[in-house]
């Protein structure tokens, strides 16, 4: 297990979350409210569905260097040409994005067009300019074998995170996540879970205890706020009290 929740307080737990405001109808007021919540909780990142609001968010959080500004690339479908994804990535980075979540071309993978998938991954990394990179698999559309194949391609290219889902379709099962974890064991690739199902607090902490390095969700405030209650119920571990013998 890469994260020991028993050793973490709420501020440390908040760093495990990419707070995500993704609905296409999100207004400027809602984006700014998300900035305020991100600052209040100290989340690891504030992620958006495109690069459009990135300049606003980068400006709002300019005095919070530890909080990444996230943009999704080709979200949520991932079916555009690799060159379009690369341009969108470069544009988001120019505007201030420091972490990037790209939707994989699911149809290309399922068609066995692995060279095309590798190509878009390589173009994505090159276009990222050294910023944090994540690839969204959308595991609800994949067999376990296809999940494993996608993870191997991610590791081959050196993407930093394999991400389960966009959160716009059916979320991942624990079994699908464990396929990703098992495939990537021994590599440098980290694991991000999105699309956590209800009840979100319990399920989010279950994924973290199963090995997730990051959770992406709009429910991040609710999940962090639930930490003490879930510890009291024994669903999340707390630091064991030690006594000294005399």
What pLDDT digit, counting tens, does each position of 103-136 carry?
999 999 999 999 999 999 999 999 999 999 999 9
Pairing mode of beta strands 190-194, 161-163: parallel
Query: What is the residue-averaged pLDDT of the chain?
Result: 95
Give me the mean pLDDT over the 171-197 stretch: 97
Question: What pLDDT shows up at residue 200?
Answer: 94
In DSSP terms, 68 is beta-bridged to 45
Residue boundaries of the structural domains of the chain = 5-232
Question: What pLDDT shows up at residue 241?
Answer: 57
pLDDT digits (tens, 9 = 90+) for 24-55: 999 999 999 999 999 999 999 999 999 999 99
The residue among 162, 99, 155 whose CA lies nearest residue 132 is 99
Task: Tell me how far apart the alpha carbons of residues 220 and 43 are, in angstroms, rounded to a whole number.
Answer: 8
Contact (CB, 8 A) for 96 and 107: no
Exposure class string for 62-91: b at 16+ Cβ within 10 A, else e: eeeeebbbbbbbbbbebeeebeebbebbbb
Identify the H or E element spanning 137.
Answer: none
Give me the mean pLDDT over the 206-226 stretch: 97
Question: What pLDDT shows up at residue 245?
Answer: 46
pTM: 0.95
Question: What pLDDT shows up at residue 246?
Answer: 39
The residue among 205, 118, 101 whose CA lies nearest residue 161 is 101
State which CATH number among 3.30.559.10, 3.30.160.20, 3.20.20.70, 3.40.50.450 fits the domain covering 5-232: 3.20.20.70
Using the predicted structure, report yes or no on whether residue 157 has a pLDDT greater than 50: yes
Reading the block at residue 27, the tokens are 């207004």
Q: Catalytic residue numbers?
A: 101, 163, 192
Question: What pLDDT shows up at residue 101?
Answer: 98
């Amino acid at each position: 297990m890469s994260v020991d929740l028993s050793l973490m307080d709420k501020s440390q737990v908040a760093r495990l979350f990419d707070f995500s405001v993704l609905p296409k109808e999100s207004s400027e007021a809602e984006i700014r409210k998300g900035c305020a919540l991100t600052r209040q909780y100290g989340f690891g990142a504030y992620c958006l569905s495109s690069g459009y609001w990135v300049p606003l968010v980068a400006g709002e959080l300019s005095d919070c260097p530890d909080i990444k500004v996230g943009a999704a690339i080709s979200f949520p479908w991932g079916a555009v040409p690799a060159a379009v994804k690369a341009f969108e990535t470069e544009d988001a980075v120019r505007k201030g994005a420091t972490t990037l979540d790209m939707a994989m071309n699911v149809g290309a993978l399922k068609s066995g067009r692995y060279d095309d998938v590798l190509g878009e991954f390589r173009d994505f990394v090159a276009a990222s300019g050294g910023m944090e990179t994540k690839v969204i698999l959308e595991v609800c559309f994949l067999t376990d074998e296809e999940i494993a194949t996608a993870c191997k391609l991610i590791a081959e290219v050196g993407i930093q995170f394999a991400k389960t889902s966009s959160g716009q379709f059916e979320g991942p099962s624990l079994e699908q996540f464990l396929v990703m974890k098992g495939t990537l064991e021994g590599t440098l690739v980290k694991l991000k879970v999105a699309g956590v199902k209800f009840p979100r607090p319990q399920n989010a902490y279950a994924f973290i205890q199963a090995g997730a390095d990051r959770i992406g969700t709009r429910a991040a405030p609710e999940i962090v706020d639930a930490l003490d209650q879930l510890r009291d119920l024994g669903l999340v571990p707390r630091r064991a009290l030690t006594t000294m013998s005399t």
